[in-house]
Amino acid sequence: MKFAKYLLAASLLASTVITGGVAVAQKAGGTVVIGTTQKPRHLNPAVQSGIATAVPGTQIFATPIRFDDKWNPQPYLAESWKTSPDGKSITLNMRKNATFHDGKPITSADVAFSVQTVKDNHPFKTMFAPVTSVETPDAHTAIINFSSPHPAALLAMSSALLPIIPKHVYGDGQDAKKHPANSKPVGSGPYMLEEFKPGEHVILKKNPNYFIKDRPLLDRIIIKNYKDVTSMVLAVDKGEIDMLPFLTGTRNLARLKKNADLTVTNEGYAAVGPLNWLAFNTTNKYFKDKRVRQAIAYAIDRKFIVNALHSGFSKTATGPVVLGSPYGAPDVEAYDLDLDKAKALLDVAGFKADGDGMRFKVELDFIPAFAEMQKTVAEYIKPQLKKVGIIVSLRSSPDFPSWAKRVGGHEFEMSMDIVFNWGDPVIGVHRTYICSNIKKGVIWSNTQSYCNKDVDALLASAGAELDQAKRVDLYQKAQAIIVDEAPQVFLNELPYHTVYSNKIGNAPTSIWGAMAPMDNVFLK
């Protein structure tokens, strides 16, 4: 009889496995609670970058285009679009049934107004810098003209980057950055604002007149602010909240992975492209020599950083573009750990070791946040570089603005830094390499003061190249030079993960993750 019991158990098990495999029907209704420690100042992504505004902002506002999880552009507010043969204009055919949350229809005039607002106010200047004009031949056609071909434009029209904002609300002549409607936004996305309590929560409710039929599926999304990560992680562990996007702490991730009711995924961050790197001030007397920079790259064991310091949750970075992007460069110099090579390079560069084996002394800055990515790695680099004769002293900054002031003001020797790709290299990568972007006082500009005319030329042509294969090739060439000259040591990609309850269906895993409309997210 024991055997029969086993058989029964086995068949039961098999049947659950089978039913488990069948797709669950997409049910409407319910509330999803999202936890975050980032507090938005307001909810208008047209004039504000960053995760805090982007997550609610992409639910409230719709963009012309959105992207799937394989970097393919999909229709959203624009039913279709066409790039002219010379690449200097994109024609958007807008949906005719779309309305703002206040019931007014969306017209091409709103598109033109939104492009202008973003161009004038958004910190990512390169997104729409080439835009010369937006023509509106009829109410539902918008033609965006560029001074030169602009292949990054499609990505710049997705996620939180080009929210279509109503001209009849924001076009009243007030400064867009301080517009009162930024905190009471009127958009056209799947959810509309119910309540915004800064520092506490953003409550979003279903938009009944959403332009996609039978969507969104949820009744409400609550984005709840937590003061610290630990209590937020405990809350998701206990099932009090349903989703945590942008979680990086590897200890927390390891802990949450053990919870059978939760899914932990690193999908949904391909477009964010978050890089952790060691930046050099290339005007420094030691670091102006590329051999010194290469030596340091050879002296740092990136496998140790990823496996020992980050418990295997992060990924080794190879170059300025993350590998998840179509423009990533996997075949550049990998700088595998080689202390002898590092010492030889330093010798050749003229920095001979003294009696104690020491060569010179430098200061290392780090961002006083994301300790696992910044301070811990800096603490690792200190003894590691001592092995090749470089004495590193850590310089801590009391808060983020003090660090940004030092690094942005070029008052540093080397610094840990975290920089995002933001989808297309034109948006997030060019800024840290082109000569014209060496701007004192601007953080995440070319703070390395790195300048190479060849790289400039390659990036400029890649930024305007319409042929995808050629564009990839140009970016790979540029990255080969950059990685060789090593204005930064590319350490690792941030281990951004989304943790969500298994009750949630269609968790956001497109290239923009939670910074994309969650109109098909549902509760099982």
Partner 1 sequence: MSDITTTELVAESPLSEAWAVFRRSGLALFGLGLLLLIIIVSVVGPFIYVVDPFDIIWAPFTEPGVEAIVPLGTDQLGRDILAGLIYGGNATLLVGVSAALITVIIGISIGAMAGFYGGLADNILMRVTEFFQVLPPLLFAMVLVTLFSPSLPIVAIAIGVVSWPATARLARAEFIRIRNLEYVNAARSIGSKNSRIIWRVILPNALPPLIVSSTLSVGIAILFEAGLSFLGLSDPNVMSWGLMIGSGREYILDAWWVVTLPGAMIFLTVLSVSLVGDGLNDAFNPKLRER
Which residues form the interface with partner 1 (CB under 8 A)? 249, 251, 255, 308-309, 368, 371-372, 375-376, 378-380, 382-384, 386, 393-396, 398-399, 402
| Cα–Cα distance for residue pair 419/370, rounded to 1 Å | 13
Map residue 433 onto helix, strand or coil.
Answer: coil
For residue 95, give Cα distances in angstroms to 104, 116, 210, 458: 14, 20, 12, 37
What is the number of alpha carbons within 13 Å of residue 239 lying toward its C-beta? 6
Cβ at position 393, least distance to partner 1 in Å:
5
* Residue closer to partner 1, measured from CB, 71 or 380: 380
DSSP 308: I
Map residue 78 onto helix, strand or coil.
Answer: strand
Are the beta carbons of 321 and 493 closer than 8 angstroms? no
* Residue closer to partner 1, measured from CB, 201 or 386: 386
Residue pointed to by tokens 């059978």: 260
Map residue 241 onto helix, strand or coil.
Answer: coil
Any alpha helices (H) in 337-424, and if so which ranges? 339-348, 375-386, 400-408
Give the residue among 162, 178, 100 at the shortest CA–CA distance from 427.
Answer: 162
Tokens in use for 167? 């001209």
Cβ at position 197, least distance to partner 1 in Å:
27
Cβ at position 366, least distance to partner 1 in Å:
9
* Residue closer to partner 1, measured from CB, 204 or 491: 491
Cβ at position 227, least distance to partner 1 in Å:
15
* Residue closer to partner 1, measured from CB, 246 or 522: 246
| Cα–Cα distance for residue pair 426/157, rounded to 1 Å | 13
* Residue closer to partner 1, measured from CB, 7 or 308: 308
Cβ at position 58, least distance to partner 1 in Å:
31
The kind and range of the H/E element at 457 are helix 453-463
Cβ at position 510, least distance to partner 1 in Å:
31
> Which pairing describes strands 131-138 and 141-146: parallel, antiparallel, or unpaired?
antiparallel
**What value, to the nearest 5°, has the Cα angle with vertex 274 and ends 272 and 275?**
150
* Residue closer to partner 1, measured from CB, 278 or 459: 278
* Residue closer to partner 1, measured from CB, 262 or 392: 392
Amino acid identity, residue 91? Answer: T
Are the beta carbons of 442 and 432 closer than 8 angstroms? no
Q: Give just the sign of the alpha carbon dihedral 123, 128, 133, 139.
A: negative
Cβ at position 388, least distance to partner 1 in Å:
13
What is the number of alpha carbons within 13 Å of residue 519 lying toward its C-beta? 23
Beta bridge partners of 219: none
Cβ at position 264, least distance to partner 1 in Å:
17
Cβ at position 382, least distance to partner 1 in Å:
6
| Cα–Cα distance for residue pair 107/77, rounded to 1 Å | 10
* Residue closer to partner 1, measured from CB, 364 or 474: 364
* Residue closer to partner 1, measured from CB, 129 or 308: 308
Cβ at position 217, least distance to partner 1 in Å:
37
| Cα–Cα distance for residue pair 28/500, rounded to 1 Å | 18
* Residue closer to partner 1, measured from CB, 364 or 429: 364
Cβ at position 231, least distance to partner 1 in Å:
15
Map residue 328 onto helix, strand or coil.
Answer: coil
* Residue closer to partner 1, measured from CB, 191 or 366: 366
